[in-house]
Structure 1
């Protein structure tokens, strides 16, 4: 865990509000009506949600979650409809509605902007920005609407999920079985919420070291002991269909990776947009050829890890389809053709390509004078001891490709518990803000660490040394749905973990360090 959780105890700064439904966000949700609120659910009735059929599919999907989240909180299911406006006629009638859509994509939203003369200059053209507010007479026959408008696809998606979290639905509701606090009334302020472009353009996670826990579990529960024919992966259609209650279909009889569906949803709820998929005995596009189309459909930017150039799952794909040695010095044409196929396969989708071949860690080559084209992002990594090895110097900060960070959460092999906040705030200061990717192992042990990394990349301006401790207390209160005093006990346990680890170097801990049978020994 991260050492800043310790600060909550050492500095004596633990504080709580009466209830936590969002962490570090502008709040625009209320659970009782007032003269300055707009009803989402009131007196057992839900306000209808309107979209247009020409909206991005990922926004349509997030709107389905939005309605489901309202029901989870209130027990009331609001209607969700695609509507059209022809002349002065709206295809669905209601006096008050919620209108969701993307500027320049949703014909419904564009008509609202035109009819109500709505000022969208605060978000127009901004990467992943959104705003929400009440609008009077947005369309003919509609008296009032609460509009959630994104500057682009993910901006709209984030606007929806931002409200869902404020309603009380944790991003981890499925992955960590987080309970939802119930409310009979659900309202938003007329002034609404908004957020500009994020601090870091691409914010994501890397599923790595997923063996043994996740793979072994899937192999035991969903196979006869043998994985997929080409990759040996246990993530087959039995796993995907049994893992949860819904399966997304792109083509007839094509069952899509529900495991990654929930990965995609989790990322978007946390305001992430980027994923390096699992690599142990797996290859994202080979395990299921619909994986990348599905990611793009949701709005996730796909990449591959530092050892997998040009969107190919190497070494798995090379072992299956390559020819000759993995050595460009003696096998250039075959490797080049292999890379071209990866680029062509990913061309229709939003992707970030890892460049070059990794034989060993490559920073030394750069330090020795190797240079790359200006439009390639320089991704600096940590040293497995919590320290980012290098940041952009002044002469590197105007490169068109920018710079970023590849970081690890987990158990640093050292007693120096350097915090994520300390290191990533340096990355912000030094303009390493194009891409942030964090290695989360198989994800489950590191929910809080992962969320902080993404949240800080979403809006670095929120968090300072003075309020940093509030993240762990708010997180504990939200995730365990506890009153303040009980949340204090949880946060004390979380905050104390690094203190307990510091008593022995983590690499020296073993099964005999603490007794498992004798209490307090």
Structure 2
């Protein structure tokens, strides 16, 4: 029989055992909740999921390795796992949704929606993590959102070079993320006028300059980081390049890659059914038919080629088909078709008839009419629609475009009547050739917000494609359009610029960096302020045109008023007026560029070492280039005034100014090398649009004449 002392001892022992068990459970909980560096993670995904989810998982595995040196054991079947695991899948896959039901995991919040996702800790003490998408892209977005929020991987890291901070452990016990698109249905990029990307990834040869946009050998090396970045920014559509020819095996490889990534693919607005007009002409020339090509006179010639291309594009189920009829070189069809109607109503009927035929050909190629299609009203199309001269298939999304040289939606956008139950979208530029921006960013967050807000207010929210040219220079504007395209309520422009500066350069220097960017965007000379301050700005492409024009004047060529899209640029009858305007315009802007450079240099001193390279390439190199272009135009304008004055002494002074212009361009070419380090080596090898080497050559030869 136990005495009182024995009972007390037993009670104490029981308490101690209970406490030890509690400590053990707590220790186990810590092991479960905190994933430690150098551990192995079990990942499960059903084998029937779309390949794009698997490719996004490969990126996640790489992210885990970079952040925590964690290895992943990824198996393509669904099963229970002891210890920590990540379960990934889409509700569009019955095997995955059945598995979630079996485990009593509630997915009702995203079920039946488009591109939604949730990322949740589940199970005892949060021992498992589920990344579920309502569909394929929803699952992909969920994977990348986990990388962004939990691992700290910035969506632009492939372009900024900013590695995420290493972590010793991750608290995975209470993760709960859910989101989906709320504003634009289709959201994507148009990689257009991609001379730098092509020169950087392809083999540069003597034919490149004359054939820059049909050489895609090696372009897949650029396409991979573009697609990954697009998906990390929750884009769902891509026009991967200019003038893609699916009959070329290397170009069809690009289409295949976009499909495998889980992205939708569409076509350039001058490529209805994926074929551009010059390719139609070449098709018949290869058959020995050298007659002038005219859709008005011989529509059957176009239709034969359209059927050929539609049959090849129909192999892919992720196509948003482009419909339309334009001429060679992105001009109206009547610019090179002598038989085209001369009246607006006749032209509208011609284009509407071609679009109806294209829609019919797609139905034939697919065997059904359940497909997405767009018609981009670029330039003349907006006016024809406004006048009531265009009609479209009822399922086709009508795309209103901004005016490229201004990045502003025009009067027609606001004035055209919307049809009930019709879908509408917009095509917008954060980059544009030939007036710019191209090698320097110029479309400010304020301008982007102003125009996308108008699109939302007008109901043009079914489609948003953004022209981003070579992407690398336009990261700020590209990321902003992606953010407010996903959810327009996300960011006011001023707050976005501040947050972007902190995100990419750090909390301590964010304010100074934001001021530097504001100074940069505020330094451009406004050519046209109608309706919006800075509606049309003097940008890099315009500066190239002015330089060439001024060199021609200095070389004694007669002054002519050229016909270009940006009519404001050269809308002068007399050389003296032209010269005077741009001398004063650039002269007024130069102090602002100097102040912007000073602000950028001051911010640079405060930025941490590992962030300085991106700030240099994204702002200082671009600022230096546009400042040099302004100074070049200014010096050449002054030189031209001296020459027109006619005296010998003034012509001698003109030579000095021409040499100063040459020095500015040469200095810019040296500074530009700072953007060609590491993996960016050769970034400007394909510069055939701004073509800085050619500008230097022209100005040097001009100086030689004096």
Match of 1:321 among 277, 280, 283: 283
- Contact 2:50 2:136 (8 Å CA) reproduced: yes
> Following TM superposition, by how much is the alpha carbon of 1:317 offset from its aligned partner in structure 2, in angstroms?
2.9
Q: Tell me, yes or no, if structure 1 residue 434 matches structure 2 residue 466.
A: no
Deviates more, 1:449-458 or 1:382-391: 382-391
Aligned to 1:178: 162
Match of 2:174 among 176, 190, 193: 190
Q: Please list, as runs of the form range in 1=range in 2, the aligned pairs for 1:362-377 lying within 5 A after superposition.
A: 362-369=381-388, 370-377=390-397
Q: Tell me, yes or no, if structure 1 residue 72 matches structure 2 residue 91.
A: no
Aligned to 2:109: 122
Q: Please list, as runs of the form range in 1=range in 2, the aligned pairs for 1:172-251 lying within 5 A after superposition.
A: 172-188=156-172, 190-211=174-195, 213-218=196-201, 222-226=203-207, 233-236=214-217, 239=218
Aligned to 1:383: 403
Q: How far apart, in 2, do the equivalents of 1:199 and 1:285 lie?
A: 36
Shift in alpha-carbon separation, 1:410–1:326, aligned structure 2, 3 A = same
Deviates more, 1:501-510 or 1:195-204: 501-510
Aligned to 2:146: 163
Aligned to 1:28: none
- Contact 2:32 2:127 (8 Å CA) reproduced: no
Q: 3-state DSSP class of the match of 1:485?
A: coil
Q: 3-state DSSP class of the match of 2:72?
A: coil
Shift in alpha-carbon separation, 1:489–1:122, aligned structure 2, 3 A = same
Q: 3-state DSSP class of the match of 1:271?
A: coil
Q: Tell me, yes or no, if structure 1 residue 355 matches structure 2 residue 323.
A: yes
Match of 2:518 among 495, 506, 516: 495
Match of 1:153 among 124, 132, 136: 136
Match of 1:291 among 242, 246, 254: 254
Q: Structure 1 or 2: larger helix share? A: 2
Residue by residue, what CA displacement relative to the aligned partner does 1:30-79 show, whole Å, maximum 9, x if unpaired? xxx99899747325424322111111110011011111112222222233
Aligned to 1:94: 82
- Contact 1:63 1:160 (8 Å CA) reproduced: yes
Q: How far apart, in 2, do the equivalents of 1:105 and 1:367 lie?
A: 44
Q: Please list, as runs of the form range in 1=range in 2, the aligned pairs for 1:347-496 lying within 5 A after superposition.
A: 347=314, 348-359=316-327, 360=332, 361-369=380-388, 370-384=390-404, 385-389=406-410, 390-391=412-413, 396=418, 398-400=420-422, 402-410=423-431, 419-463=447-491, 465=492, 468-480=493-505, 482=506, 484-496=507-519
> Following TM superposition, by how much is the alpha carbon of 1:394 offset from its aligned partner in structure 2, in angstroms?
9.9
Q: Tell me, yes or no, if structure 1 residue 331 matches structure 2 residue 293.
A: no
Q: 3-state DSSP class of the match of 2:518?
A: helix
Match of 2:237 among 261, 274, 278: 274
Q: How far apart, in 2, do the equivalents of 1:229 and 1:291 lie?
A: 22
Residue by residue, what CA displacement relative to the aligned partner does 1:171-226 show, whole Å, maximum 9, x if unpaired? 22223323322222223462510013442111111112223x3334445xx34545
Taking only aligned residues, the RMSD between alpha carbons, in angstroms, comes to 3.3
Residue by residue, what CA displacement relative to the aligned partner does 1:458-508 show, whole Å, maximum 9, x if unpaired? 111322x4xx3232232233334x3x1223332221222111224885255
Shift in alpha-carbon separation, 1:473–1:364, aligned structure 2, 3 A = same
- Contact 1:307 1:358 (8 Å CA) reproduced: yes
Shift in alpha-carbon separation, 1:68–1:455, aligned structure 2, 3 A = same
- Contact 1:133 1:191 (8 Å CA) reproduced: yes
Residue by residue, what CA displacement relative to the aligned partner does 1:348-407 show, whole Å, maximum 9, x if unpaired? 32111111202422112112212222211110111232321244779626334x100111
Shift in alpha-carbon separation, 1:34–1:346, aligned structure 2, 3 A = farther
Shift in alpha-carbon separation, 1:332–1:265, aligned structure 2, 3 A = same
Q: How far apart, in 2, do the equivalents of 1:37 and 1:130 lie?
A: 27
> Following TM superposition, by how much is the alpha carbon of 1:410 offset from its aligned partner in structure 2, in angstroms?
3.7
- Contact 2:88 2:130 (8 Å CA) reproduced: yes
Aligned to 1:17: none
Q: How far apart, in 1, do the equivalents of 2:452 and 2:85 lie?
A: 41
Match of 1:132 among 119, 125, 130: 119
Q: How far apart, in 2, do the equivalents of 1:38 and 1:373 lie?
A: 56
Q: How far apart, in 1, do the equivalents of 2:310 and 2:86 lie?
A: 40
Shift in alpha-carbon separation, 1:386–1:103, aligned structure 2, 3 A = same
- Contact 1:38 1:134 (8 Å CA) reproduced: no
> TM-score if structure 1 supplies the norm length?
0.77
- Contact 1:409 1:438 (8 Å CA) reproduced: yes
Matched residues, number: 445
> Following TM superposition, by how much is the alpha carbon of 1:284 offset from its aligned partner in structure 2, in angstroms?
5.6
> Following TM superposition, by how much is the alpha carbon of 1:95 offset from its aligned partner in structure 2, in angstroms?
2.5
- Contact 2:45 2:76 (8 Å CA) reproduced: yes
> TM-score if structure 2 supplies the norm length?
0.58
Residue by residue, what CA displacement relative to the aligned partner does 1:255-274 show, whole Å, maximum 9, x if unpaired? xx332222211211111111
> Following TM superposition, by how much is the alpha carbon of 1:231 offset from its aligned partner in structure 2, in angstroms?
8.6
Match of 1:260 among 223, 236, 240: 223
- Contact 2:246 2:313 (8 Å CA) reproduced: no
Shift in alpha-carbon separation, 1:73–1:260, aligned structure 2, 3 A = same
Residue by residue, what CA displacement relative to the aligned partner does 1:55-110 show, whole Å, maximum 9, x if unpaired? 1110011011111112222222233222244xxxx4xx423211000113162x32
Aligned to 2:127: 144
Q: Tell me, yes or no, if structure 1 residue 104 matches structure 2 residue 123.
A: no
Q: How far apart, in 1, do the equivalents of 2:37 and 2:200 lie?
A: 45
Q: 3-state DSSP class of the match of 1:132?
A: strand
